[in-house]
């Protein structure tokens, strides 16, 4: 099977509007979570989130584009521009037909739903904009990226709740490894921070009102974020032939289903996904130095994830560094795994391990090295990125240093 490398990356999220500013924030352990700026925020019980601040869509898109692009699509296009500009690729001829797009999103055009429900139910209007359907559909971002860059291969979206991005990137990896494509533009995006989006999540009673503190004994829930991250996955020989800068190599992927509960995670399902990614990547457990955890800051998720890591890695679990960057950028739901992959690449490329900030009290049920509060310099040769979603859907990626 063919090898797969990453040759471009882009992002916009609560920590920064591009990759350099995001990585700087991760190195500094800076928190991007703060008071929400939303219509009717006073009616919300949860008033914090990892919101993209200082963002003006009218400075980046014209009126016609804004009529077509929900906020999640806007974020995707911004991140895709950065990733594709950095990759140096141009899609013409055969390469266009052998290149595709696969993105993860759980909610798609939530802001568009929210705005138009208001229009119809609250304001009593009888018509909505003719582009509402193409604006809110989950595949909108993937379709607009394919059209913008002439990507004529497989293009689609994946919706598996909080594992959407990892599933999308894993499928992109498999498309390339199998020989079906030479380049895949992949990642994920989410923009659920609207009144309706936050109100729906409030109903689950898993949200913190003050901070995201994964693995800390006094954690009290997750915090939503928004944004996107996009990567260029490319077949290794293709990238090498054109002299591309290689950021990291994707070597393994595994996905499992708990088949147990719609919201409660399973240690066995998560552990199987971790072990499967190691096996797929032909990695010995001892080769892995860092795991970017799912680490939502809920009691159930954090404890189950730590137990799953201990099961999958055995005695080596005590030597691992495992951190949750959700403590800084919030939980982007379907887009979160993509933003977290930035931290994995930083660990491999720059030797910097992003911290778990907000950590205050040790939890004996999360007794791993969670890189508390401060980034750490460390050389690692292989990393994992975990994503465990409602519905019992687990997706784990394995990466190595650039060859």
Alpha-carbon dihedral 166, 193, 199, 330, rounded to 10 degrees: 50
Which is catalytic among the residues 238, 329, 331, 344? Answer: 331
Phi, psi of 261 (to 5 degrees): -145, 145
CA–CA separation, 265 and 263 (whole Å): 6
DSSP state of 16: B
Which is catalytic among the residues 31, 162, 175, 366? Answer: 162
What would the two tokens of residue 61 be? 């898109």
Is 81 assigned a catalytic role?
A: no
In the chain, the N- to C-terminal Cα span, in Å, equals 16
Is 331 assigned a catalytic role?
A: yes
Is 175 assigned a catalytic role?
A: no
Helix (H, G, I), strand (E, B) or coil at 283: coil
Helix (H, G, I), strand (E, B) or coil at 38: coil
Which is catalytic among the residues 294, 329, 344, 366? Answer: 294
Cα–Cα distances (Å) from 86 to 99, 254, 347, 350, 364, in that order, read 17, 28, 19, 17, 43
Ramachandran region of residue 205, left (φ > 0), alpha (ψ -120 to 50) or beta?
Answer: left
Active-site positions read 162, 294, 331
């Amino acid at each position: 099977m063919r090898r797969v490398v990453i040759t471009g990356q882009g992002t916009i999220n609560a920590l920064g509007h591009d990759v350099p500013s995001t990585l700087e924030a991760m190195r500094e352990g800076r928190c991007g979570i703060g008071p929400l700026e939303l219509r009717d925020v006073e009616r919300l019980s949860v008033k914090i989130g990892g919101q993209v601040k200082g963002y003006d869509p009218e400075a980046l898109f014209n009126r016609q584009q804004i009529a077509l692009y929900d906020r999640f699509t806007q974020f995707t296009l911004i991140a895709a521009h950065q990733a594709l500009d950095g990759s140096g690729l141009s899609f013409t001829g055969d390469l266009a037909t052998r290149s595709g797009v696969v993105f993860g999103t759980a909610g798609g055009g939530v802001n568009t739903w929210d705005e138009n429900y208001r229009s119809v139910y609250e304001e009593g209007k009888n018509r909505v904009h003719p582009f509402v359907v193409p604006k809110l559909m989950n595949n909108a971002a993937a379709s607009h990226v394919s059209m913008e860059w002439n990507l004529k291969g497989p293009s689609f979206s994946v919706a598996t709740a909080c594992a959407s991005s990892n599933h999308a990137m894993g499928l992109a990896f498999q498309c390339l490894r199998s020989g079906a494509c030479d380049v895949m533009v992949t990642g994920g995006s989410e923009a659920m921070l609207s009144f309706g989006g936050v109100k729906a999540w409030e109903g689950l009673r898993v949200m913190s009102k003050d901070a995201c503190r994964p693995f800390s004994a006094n954690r009290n829930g997750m915090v939503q974020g928004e944004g996107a991250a996009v990567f260029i996955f490319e077949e290794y020989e293709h990238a090498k032939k054109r002299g591309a800068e290689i950021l990291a190599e994707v070597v393994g992927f595994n996905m499992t289903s708990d088949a147990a509960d719609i919201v409660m995670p399973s240690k066995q399902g998560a552990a199987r996904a971790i072990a499967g990614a190691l096996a797929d990547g032909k990695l010995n457990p001892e080769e892995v130095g860092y795991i970017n955890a799912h680490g939502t800051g809920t009691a159930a998720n954090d404890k189950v994830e730590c137990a799953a890591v201990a099961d999958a890695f055995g005695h080596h679990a005590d030597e691992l560094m495992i951190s949750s960057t959700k403590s800084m950028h919030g939980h982007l739901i379907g887009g979160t795994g993509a933003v977290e992959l930035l931290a994995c690449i930083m660990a491999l490329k720059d030797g910097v391990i992003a911290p778990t900030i907000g950590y205050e009290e040790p939890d004996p049920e999360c007794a791993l090295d969670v890189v508390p509060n401060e980034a750490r310099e460390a050389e690692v040769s292989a990393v994992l990125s975990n994503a465990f979603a409602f519905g019992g859907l687990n997706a784990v990626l394995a990466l190595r240093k650039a060859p």
